[in-house]
Amino acid sequence: MHDHSKSSPLKSYFAVWGALLLGTFLTYEAALIDLGRFNAAVALLIATTKALLVALFFMHLKNASEKLLKLVVASTIFFLILLLALSMFDYGTRSFS
């Protein structure tokens, strides 16, 4: 038998989709504003929030086991640090003359 007491995830999927559209719009609007050295930080903050929404809802990590969630968070932080380290190494070795 089917359990009809659970609500359809369709409503939450549309809410997350709307939030992702809003995040895309905010990214576009933030790109038009000169924030100086904070442009990249704002863009990364918006992108991280959007990635978190995708991971939690569309990859179903919201209801996942605690061990799986810890593994995903640890690997995400590792690759973020790797990306930032390689980017800073590239930036530090360029000559700006």
DSSP calls for 12-70:
HHHHHHHHHHHHHHHHHHHHHS--GGGHHHHHHHHHHHHHHHIIIIIS--TTS-HHHHH
Q: Does 71 lie in the same domain as 38?
A: no
The number of domains in the chain is 2
Interval 45-59: pLDDT, tens: 899 899 989 988 888
- Whole-number percent of the chain with pLDDT over 70: 91
Interval 3-29: pLDDT, tens: 555 667 889 899 999 999 999 999 999
Q: Does 50 lie in the same domain as 72?
A: no
Q: Does 68 lie in the same domain as 42?
A: no
Confidence at residue 28, expressed as pLDDT on a 0 to 100 scale = 95
- Is 1 within the bounds of a domain? no
Domain holding 17, by residue range, is 7-61
Q: Does 14 lie in the same domain as 47?
A: yes
Confidence at residue 3, expressed as pLDDT on a 0 to 100 scale = 53
pTM, two decimals, is: 0.66
